[in-house]
Amino acid sequence: MLAFAPMSDTLLTIDCDYVQPALACAYLRVSGDECAFIETNTTHAVPRLLAALAAQGRTPADVRYVIVTHVHLDHAGGASALMDACPNATLLAHPRAARHLIDPTKLVAGATAVYGAAHFAELYGTIRGVDASRVRALDDGAEVPFGGGLLRFLHTRGHANHHFVVHDPAVDAVFTGDAFGLVYPRLQRAGLMAFPSTSPTDFDGPAAHASIDRIVALGVGRACLTHFGEQTRLPEIADQLHAWLTLSEALMAQSRERPAAEREAFIEGRLAAAFDEAVARSGLALSADDRTLVAFDRKLNAQGLAFAAGKAPA
């Protein structure tokens, strides 16, 4: 956990230990007498979040906001449990996400169908709906008061249609969810290694490019990624993400020339080759654990691109 001064405005990074350390995090903001959590991870992470709050000398009653960048369950699966623990909090979400936080039936059913009931419970725990009176949907550009300043919310499509980022001028930061890619600490040993998340089912290449540019244009000193941690090299990350997205769009186009059943394997194979080339250029020596981590995201990315390739043209 990393805290930053001044004391009146604190930013804390909380490793949620989701599947493995340094894979997914949440953030605690303290400003004056008010606290906010950005991202919740899963129900299993909520005790970690509350422990971080207590370590700052605060109580759940001090939490004004719980914020989720989008409703994928590694970001929002713990929202109901955290809201139960924080009696004064309002849950802030994208308008398209809010209804799924109020009634998560479809989210739970879809994930349970993929993982099975036992594995779903192991990964995410119990997910309940949040009372609609405690959920606030925020339009693009909306601002809410927090502590001595404001939080600003920007809609950022590309990874998901119900995604926003949170601009926090008081700490010169933007909380980016999955809109600014994945920068896993274990892959930074030989220099910057960033790549996007194009997982199912809402990938939109032009929108993803535009969202990256919008984040950089804020001019903040740090981007707070859910996967993983605070990053200061925003223009360099953006360059790598744009290159990967351009490749992804090209692979989608090429895959349309193939039978639908072959598209995912085709895309995944090309992504694997491109990643190996990037690793070779950087001089990074991958361990078996590194390759397992990358393979997981590569498969999800290929699934998302293959799904997008099969959609009817807009």
Q: Are 268 and 142 part of one and the same domain?
A: no
Shared domain check, 254 and 296: yes
* pLDDT tens column, 131-153: 999 999 999 999 999 998 999 99
Residue 286: inside a domain, yes or no? yes
pLDDT at 111 > cutoff 60: yes
85/134 same-domain check: yes
**CATH code of the domain containing 61:** 3.60.15.10
**145 and 224 share one domain:** yes
Check whether residue 286 and residue 264 sit in a common domain.
Answer: yes
Last residue of a domain, one of 242, 270, 291: 242
Q: How many domains does the chain have?
A: 2
Inter-residue contact 194 to 278 (CB < 8 Å):
no
pTM of the full predicted structure?
Answer: 0.95
Q: Are residues 186 and 301 in the same domain?
A: no
Does 154 lie in the same domain as 292?
A: no
Asked if residue 314 belongs to a domain, the reply is no
Name residues whose C-beta falls within 8 Å of residue 71's C-beta, 6 or more positions apart in sequence.
93, 97, 100, 101, 104, 107, 162
Average pLDDT over residues 207-227: 98
- Asked if the structure places residue 253 within a domain, the reply is yes
State how far the Cα of 3 lies from the Cα of 15, in Å rounded to an integer.
Answer: 13
214 and 96 in a common domain = yes
Give residue for tokens 């119900």. 162
Q: Find the mean pLDDT for residues 112-118.
A: 87
299 contacts 271 by C-beta, under 8 angstroms: no
235 and 253 part of one domain: no
Cα 274 to its chain centre, rounded Å, is 23
276 inside domain = yes
pLDDT value of position 270: 98
Q: Are residues 270 and 170 in the same domain?
A: no
Pair 127, 95 in one domain: yes
Domain end point (choices 242, 272, 301): 242
- Among 197, 213, 242, residue at a domain's last position: 242
Query: Rounded to an integer, what distance in angstroms lies between the CA atom of residue 101 and that of residue 281?
Result: 43
Asked, for residue 111, whether it belongs to a domain, the answer is: yes
Residue 234 lies in a domain: yes
Q: Is 1 within the bounds of a domain?
A: no
**19: pLDDT strictly greater than 60:** yes
- What is the SS3 string spanning 78-137? CHHHHHHHCCCCEEEECHHHHHHHHCCHHHHHHHHHHHCHHHHHHHHCCCCCCCHHHEEE
Residues 236 and 255 in one domain: no
Mean pLDDT, range 59-63, rounded to an integer: 98
Residue 3 located in a structural domain = no
Range of the domain at 28: 9-242
Q: What token pair was written down for 182?
A: 């994945």
Give the per-residue pLDDT at 314. Answer: 54
